[in-house]
């Protein structure tokens, strides 16, 4: 059986085009299906292809199924026309939309919408293994997800026909889901046992080595929800770094309060190649921490941040905060913002407003707050909101939000507070570390970007960066179209 996956990544098309990122969900799915004797080609950078070009690819490959990754992305602009072409050229082909938030993008008339970690569910669909849709629309993949992650590699293995440049980075996961259950978090599979969703250690080692040996990749983006949830991950990464003859560079999510308790762990990570970290700090209000699941005294964390910066001056540190969490006051957040701008314990920080999405019965994962926001002190406000924000990081498109208020502030005030704090901080912060990895693919290297400060530099790299990004994608597109004409 042969199939196609049409893929893209959110950061390329939400108003700017600076840097290159492959969609890891697409390539994980492709390799998983190949391991089960189903050959899959991935078409990256979907939005750069016209309907006519995609139709030619369909004609040349004659796939039995077409998958589209909808993970926090935007819909293909000519979907209606493309759908018509698929059904004209391949009337019996299954159309499968998979990822997170699959219904919001309104890819109409697909055969299956698979929400969450989707590999096994897609395989079952293709093998006609009795998958049942919810509401005649959605398959909840998380309900069917295997507890034994070690039964498959769940790894990315690029093909030569993916046209990988050695300057690209590879997205890697050591485990899925999160052992924690923060009250505001609505990511897939929260509060899981760590052993249920851990990948096989040898599979992780092989994935790193394959990327380096086949394509010369030395940059890796680890997207585990909390990479420091176990010491074993740091030990494994350090071991892998010694197997690769060149220094590797890594960016990852770390939980600051947990890291504070893990003496010596950060040193291992830095030695292993971690050059940038993202701390989801969320709040430094003690009472708020107790309610959201973070109990280390914020005064200790404030000092710890200063200690980290002193001990590891070259480590890029990014911290994010949420305005509107229970019991968190405006005064406290302004105090933290003032401290950050005075002491500069991080290279970048950013505030996002709390998003509480409506429980509309669609089958999407809900955070504990979203399941019962009254329990946490919220109620629906009568205040009119003009333009609601998207989701955290402006990635979560099409979200249907509750216009909330609590004793401290309401959604509008949270939005305005975030703007105020982010504007105050703009003169002191650098570039988002995840974007640094994207941008380094087509302009300079990671170290250059780590030291670059947009408002304190006489250099403006962004025009050339944008041109290089477009050139990279265009070259990929031409190579890919030529590849499909020769099948």
**Contact predicate 281/258, CB 8 Å:** no
Query: Which pLDDT tens digit goes with each residue over 400-413?
Result: 788 889 999 998 89
Q: Which two tokens stand for residue 31?
A: 């390799």
Structure tokens at 144: 């069917």
One-character DSSP codes across 48-109: GS-HHHHHHHHHHH--SEEEEE-TT----TTHHHHHHHHHHH-TT-EEEEEESSTTTT--TT
Whole-number pLDDT of residue 131: 80
The closest of 68, 4, 35 to 156, measured between CA atoms, is 35
Would you give the DSSP letter of residue 45? Answer: S
Closest by CA to 58, choosing from 429, 485, 356, is 485
> What does the pLDDT read at residue 128?
87
Determine the pLDDT at residue 394: 44
Q: CA–CA separation, 125 vs 138, rounded Å?
A: 12
Alpha helices in 364-442 (DSSP H): 368-371, 411-425, 433-439
Q: 365 is written with which tokens?
A: 């994962």
| Average pLDDT score over residue span 298-317 | 97
Q: What is the Cα–Cα distance from 69 to 97, expressed in whole angstroms?
A: 6
Q: Torsions phi, psi of 116, nearest 5? A: 100, -155
**Burial tier of 208 (Cβ tally within 10 Å: 0-12, 13-18, 19+):** buried
The answer to whether 348 and 430 are in contact (CB under 8 A) is yes
What CA–CA distance (Å, rounded) separates 478 from 365?
39
Report the alpha-carbon distance of residue 217 to residue 231 in Å, rounded: 25
**Which range is most confident: 42-51, 94-103, 360-369?**
42-51
Could you tell me if 144 and 120 are in contact, meaning their C-beta atoms sit under 8 angstroms apart? yes
Per-residue tokens: 462: 């962004």
Q: In whole angstroms, what is the distance from residue 86 CA to residue 56 CA?
A: 10
Residue 395 clears pLDDT 60, i.e. is over it = no
Tokens coding 226? 């909390």
Q: Provide mean pLDDT across the span 6-32.
A: 81
Whether residue 374 is predicted with pLDDT greater than 90 in this model: the reply is no
Q: Bridge-partner residues for 274, per DSSP?
A: 250
Helices 51-61, 462-485: axis angle to 10 degrees equals 30
Q: Residue 369: its pLDDT value, please?
A: 80
- For the chain, the C-alpha Rg in angstroms (whole number) is 22
Residue 191, pLDDT > 60, answer: no
Q: What is the pLDDT of residues 45-88, one digit of tens each?
A: 999 999 999 999 999 999 999 999 987 667 899 999 999 999 99
Give pLDDT, residue 385: 64
pLDDT at 14: 45
Residue owning tokens 């300057």: 167
**Bigger pLDDT: 240 vs 9:** 240
The percentage of the chain sitting over the pLDDT mark of 70, rounded to a whole number, equals 88
| pLDDT over 90 (residue 482) | yes
* Res. 317: pLDDT tops 90: yes
Dist. CA 281–CA 332, nearest whole Å: 14
Maximum Cα–Cα distance for the chain, whole Å?
A: 64
| Cβ 94 vs Cβ 112: under 8 Å | yes
Residue 252, SS3?
strand
pLDDT at 283: 92
334 pLDDT more than 70: yes
Residue 142 has pLDDT above 80, yes or no: no
Name residue, tokens 């008339």: 109
Name the one residue in this structure whose structure tokens are 């990014």.
318
Residue 148 above 70 pLDDT? no
Q: What is the mean pLDDT of residues 264-284?
A: 96
Q: Which domains does the chain have, with CATH numbers?
A: 2-145+471-485 (3.40.50.280), 157-436 (3.80.30.20)
């Amino acid at each position: 059986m042969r199939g196609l996956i049409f893929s893209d990544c959110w950061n390329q098309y939400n108003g700017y085009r600076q840097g290159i990122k492959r969609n890891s969900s697409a390539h994980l799915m492709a390799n998983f299906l190949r391991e089960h004797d189903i050959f899959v080609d991935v078409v990256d950078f979907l939005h750069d292809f016209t309907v006519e070009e995609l139709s030619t690819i369909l004609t040349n490959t004659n796939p039995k199924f077409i998958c589209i990754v909808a993970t926090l992305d935007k819909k293909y602009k000519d979907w209606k026309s493309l759908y018509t072409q698929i059904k004209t050229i391949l009337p019996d082909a299954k159309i499968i939309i998979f990822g997170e938030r699959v219904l919001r993008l309104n890819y109409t008339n697909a055969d299956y919408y698979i929400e969450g970690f989707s590999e096994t569910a897609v395989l079952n669909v293709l093998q006609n293994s009795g998958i049942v849709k919810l509401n005649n629309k959605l398959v909840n993949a998380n309900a069917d997800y295997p507890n034994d992650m070690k039964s498959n590699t769940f790894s990315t293995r690029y093909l030569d026909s993916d046209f990988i440049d050695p300057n690209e980075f590879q997205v890697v996961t050591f485990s899925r889901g999160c052992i924690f259950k923060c009250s505001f978090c609505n990511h897939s599979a929260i509060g899981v046992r760590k052993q249920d969703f851990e990948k096989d250690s040898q599979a992780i080692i092989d994935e790193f080595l394959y990327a380096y040996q086949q394509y010369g990749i030395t940059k890796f983006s680890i997207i585990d929800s909390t990479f420091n949830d176990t010491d074993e991950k740091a030990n494994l990464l350090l071991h892998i770094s010694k197997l690769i003859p060149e220094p590797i560079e890594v960016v990852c999510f770390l939980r600051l309060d947990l890291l504070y308790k893990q003496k010596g762990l950060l040193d291992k990570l830095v030695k292993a190649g971690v050059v940038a970290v993202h701390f989801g700090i969320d709040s430094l209000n003690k009472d708020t921490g107790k309610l959201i699941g973070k109990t280390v005294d914020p005064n200790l964390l404030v000092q710890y941040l200063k200690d980290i910066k002193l001990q590891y001056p070259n480590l890029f540190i990014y911290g994010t905060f949420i305005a509107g969490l229970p019991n968190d006051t405006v005064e406290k957040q302004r105090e933290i913002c003032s401290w950050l701008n005075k002491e500069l314990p991080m290279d970048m920080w950013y505030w996002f407003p709390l998003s509480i999405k409506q429980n509309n019965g669609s089958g999407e994962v809900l955070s504990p707050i979203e399941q019962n926001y009254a329990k946490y002190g919220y109620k629906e406000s009568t205040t009119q909101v003009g333009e609601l924000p998207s989701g955290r990081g402006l990635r979560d498109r099409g979200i249907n939000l509750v216009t909330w208020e609590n004793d401290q502030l309401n959604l509008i005030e949270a939005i305005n507070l975030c703007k105020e704090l982010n504007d105050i901080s703009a003169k002191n912060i650098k570039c988002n570390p995840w974007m640094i990895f994207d941008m380094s693919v087509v302009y300079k290297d990671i170290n250059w970007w780590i030291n670059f400060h947009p408002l304190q530099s006489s250099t403006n790299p962004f025009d050339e960066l944008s041109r290089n990004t477009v050139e990279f994608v265009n070259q990929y597109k031409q190579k890919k179209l030529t590849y499909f004409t020769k099948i």
